[in-house]
Chain A
Amino acid sequence: MTPEPHDVAVVGAGPAGLGAAAEAAGAGLDVVLIDAGQRPGGQYWRHAEGGRGQHWKAYEGLSRRLGQVRRIPGTQVWLITRDQEGFTLRLTGHDPVTARAVILCPGGYDRQLPIPGWDLPGVMAAGGVQALLKEHGTAPGRRAVVAGTGPFLLPVAVALARAGVAVAAVAEANPVTGWLRDPFGALAAPSKSVEAVRYAAAMTARRVLYRTRTVITEIVGDGRAEAVRLRRADGTQEEIAADLVALGWGFTPSLELPIMLGAETRLDEDGSLVAVVDGSQRSTADGVYIAGEATGVGGAALALAEGRLAALTLAGSGKTARLRRAVRRGRRFAAAMRRACPVPAEWTAWLTESTVVCRCEEVPYGELRRACHDLGADDARAVKMLARPGMGWCQGRMCGFATAAIAARLNGRVATADDLRAFAARVPAFPVALEDLAEN
């Protein structure tokens, strides 16, 4: 006998998913909350066992409202299918779950650009460094350079310094006039800018070198990272010793589940692919609501508001006007932030023939170039077929954004949503063990 489907399955227990699950349960719906992590909280509220994280009161408040929610932690949703009853979600190492509606809150991950030497041990995604510090209090090095673009570089640098790591420099590719120098002119979410100013003050106190309009062009070392090369806007170059390099060019959404269910996607201001939703978090696919980073990278507060709004919309609540206004405001601010922090226009100039682009399959830039110039590949899909980037374990999560941009550029154009979709569609959503395929 198959059990009754839940009213709603919420995928992801970050700020968006917790907000969605709490509101849905509050509205009397029967909710199942599924997350890959062992402890709820997603990336923002990642914490050590028994530990506490930032804005912890909000987390505790949400947790208290999850009493009636069936929680399934430590498992990945690798397939969602639709039938007359609703949806069936297949999980790794766990029985399938059925639900009449889904709220997808899968978050995202650090957006990466390949850089000569970026596959050396000691080089990590900025968010990964933050995650390691938050959950385990350790860092894989003693002297760090934090590089890329976006406001997230600041908290990473401060967290490293607090953990006793010497932060040699923070290299921000863009000018930061918009959101850091003029916090009070900042658009509609002043708290975010005030936060940035606080981090900036903490960095000043710790004498961290903050370089704007400065890009990282190479990481050198023998068997592990030993130094980075930075280039400023005026062309001057500099080498700085570091055994830990944290790289982040903003975040990019996880879209495999939305795409699997046929939800439309589009290009965002900063060139990432995001899921299309209306002002109430409905996707273009029936019964599929999407909230948080997946609809456009906008930070934890916006993710939480979107998650709550999705649940209230699903529950048919009449009291969503304020929340909808907050989400609209948050999205305007997030869009301004994304416009202020693009990847550098000329980033492909630092690639050499041997620079690894796809880390899994070890595909160098030279092979992508040959696929386009010698074999006639004219879009990301063709490059993927011919040179096989994005075909390894990570399923294109690390190199997809970059490879789409490279393929387009080698063909004299900018990447389209279709180029990005070539790397964002994944079935199954995650590598799956044979037992899971067999049992399901």
Chain B
Amino acid sequence: MTYTMTFEGRPVRAEPGQSVAAALVASGVVSWRVTRGQGRPRGLFCGIGLCHDCLITIDGVPDQRACVVPARDGMRLGDRDDA
């Protein structure tokens, strides 16, 4: 089966076993946060859980590494749909 997550309110599909980052990238999203200092966009860099560039809020929990967290059906990704 295919999972459906939401990223900032939009649907994002994921295959079981994919990471959150892989699902975002596969759907054409390459950045999902901006830096604290200069507001620069960031997405994946190291791809293996070390650089923390890919931090994302998942189901309201901030600062998760999108490249290591497995995608799950119904996940809410990104800050703007925390409420």
**Which residues of A have CB within 8 Å of B37?**
361-362
B52 and A124 contacting across the interface, CB-CB below 8 Å? no
B22 and A109 contacting across the interface, CB-CB below 8 Å? no
B22 and A121 contacting across the interface, CB-CB below 8 Å? no
A127 and B48 contacting across the interface, CB-CB below 8 Å? yes
A132 and B45 contacting across the interface, CB-CB below 8 Å? no
Q: Which 9 A-B pairs have the closest CB atoms?
A: A128-B47, A393-B52, A136-B22, A49-B17, A121-B31, A362-B37, A138-B26, A121-B43, A140-B25
Interface centre among A48, A121, A124, A394 (most CB of B within 10 A): A121
Say yes or no: is A119 at the interface (Cβ < 8 Å to chain B): yes
A122 and B30 contacting across the interface, CB-CB below 8 Å? yes
A359 and B16 contacting across the interface, CB-CB below 8 Å? no
Query: Can you name 25 A-B pairs with beta carbons within 8 Å?
Result: A49-B17, A50-B17, A109-B46, A119-B40, A121-B42, A121-B44, A123-B45, A124-B44, A124-B47, A128-B44, A128-B67, A132-B21, A132-B47, A135-B17, A135-B19, A136-B19, A136-B22, A139-B25, A140-B25, A140-B44, A361-B37, A393-B52, A397-B51, A398-B50, A431-B52
The answer for the CA separation of A1 and B47 in the assembled complex, in Å, is 40
Say yes or no: is B41 at the interface (Cβ < 8 Å to chain A): yes
B41 and A224 contacting across the interface, CB-CB below 8 Å? yes
Question: Beta-carbon contacts of A400-440 to B below 8 Å, as 1s and 0s?
Answer: 00000000000000000000000000000001000000000
The answer for the CA separation of A27 and B47 in the assembled complex, in Å, is 36
Which A residues, 106 to 163, have Cβ-Cβ distances below 8 Å to chain B? 109-110, 119-125, 127-129, 131-132, 135-136, 138-141
Say yes or no: is A36 at the interface (Cβ < 8 Å to chain B): yes
Say yes or no: is B60 at the interface (Cβ < 8 Å to chain A): no
Q: Given A49-B17, A132-B22, A224-B30, A140–B43 Cβ distance below 8 Å?
A: yes
B46 and A125 contacting across the interface, CB-CB below 8 Å? yes
- Taking beta carbons and an 8 Å cutoff, which residues of B are in contact with A? 15-19, 21-22, 25-26, 30-31, 35, 37-38, 40-53, 55, 67, 70
Interchain nearest-CB distance for B25 vs A (Å): 4
**Which residues of A have CB within 8 Å of B47?**
124-125, 127-129, 131-132
Say yes or no: is A223 at the interface (Cβ < 8 Å to chain B): yes
Interchain nearest-CB distance for A102 vs B (Å): 21
A132 and B44 contacting across the interface, CB-CB below 8 Å? yes
Q: Given A359-B53, A360-B52, A135–B44 Cβ distance below 8 Å?
A: no
- Taking beta carbons and an 8 Å cutoff, which residues of A are in contact with B? 36, 38, 43, 48-50, 109-110, 119-125, 127-129, 131-132, 135-136, 138-141, 223-224, 359-362, 392-394, 397-398, 431
**Which residues of B have CB within 8 Å of A109?**
46, 48, 50
Q: From A38, which residue of chain B is reached at the shortest CB distance? A: B70
- Chain B binding site: helix, strand, loop or mixed by DSSP? loop
B48 and A136 contacting across the interface, CB-CB below 8 Å? no
The answer for the CA separation of A370 and B37 in the assembled complex, in Å, is 19
**Which residues of A have CB within 8 Å of B38?**
362
A110 and B43 contacting across the interface, CB-CB below 8 Å? no
Q: Which of B15, B19, B41, B49 contacts A36 (CB 8 A)?
A: B49
Interface centre among B22, B31, B70 (most CB of A within 10 A): B22
**Which residues of B have CB within 8 Å of A359?**
45, 51, 53
**Which residues of B have CB within 8 Å of A132?**
21-22, 25, 44, 47
The answer for the CA separation of A124 and B44 in the assembled complex, in Å, is 7
A131 and B48 contacting across the interface, CB-CB below 8 Å? yes
Q: Which of A48, A120, A128 contacts B17 (CB 8 A)?
A: A48
The answer for the CA separation of A49 and B17 in the assembled complex, in Å, is 6
The answer for the CA separation of A360 and B46 in the assembled complex, in Å, is 13
Q: From A399, which residue of chain B is reached at the shortest CB distance? A: B51
Interchain nearest-CB distance for B48 vs A (Å): 6
B49 and A362 contacting across the interface, CB-CB below 8 Å? no
**Which residues of A have CB within 8 Å of B26?**
136, 138
